[in-house]
Amino acid sequence: MFALEQLGGTGGLIDGHPEQAISQIKGLAIVLAYDVVVSLIILKLIDWTIGLRVAKEVEMEGLDLSLHGEVVQ
C-alpha cells in the first residue's frame, strides 16, 4: 500500500493513488465475507453430523469425568 513507484511498486495512498487502498479494502471485505460464509457452513456440517455440544447429562456430570475418567479435586 505504501510502496514507492521508483522501487518498482505501485504507488499507494501516500503517493496520491487511493485506488490501491480501495482495492485492498475491497479485497479485505471479500475475504471477510467468504470466511464468515465458509465457517458457518463448516459449523453447520459439524452440527448435523456429530453435534457441537455434548449431551446435557454429560455436561451436568462434568466433562472431566465423562470424557477422561478423571475427577477434579
pLDDT (tens, 9 = 90+) of the chain, 73 residues, equals 445 666 666 666 776 778 878 888 999 999 999 999 999 999 999 999 999 888 888 888 888 888 888 877 7
Residue 33 and residue 43: Cα distance in Å, rounded?
15
In a domain, 64, yes or no: yes
Q: Read off the pTM.
A: 0.62
pLDDT value at residue 26: 96
Spatial contact of 72 and 64, defined as CB atoms under 8 Å apart: yes
Question: Domain count of the chain?
Answer: 1
Q: Which residues neighbour 17 within 8 Å (Cβ) at sequence distance 6 or greater?
A: 10, 11
At residue 36's C-alpha, the angle toward residues 33 and 38, to 5°, is 105
In a domain, 46, yes or no: yes
In a domain, 39, yes or no: yes
Q: Which residues neighbour 5 within 8 Å (Cβ) at sequence distance 6 or greater?
A: 11, 15
pLDDT value at residue 1: 44
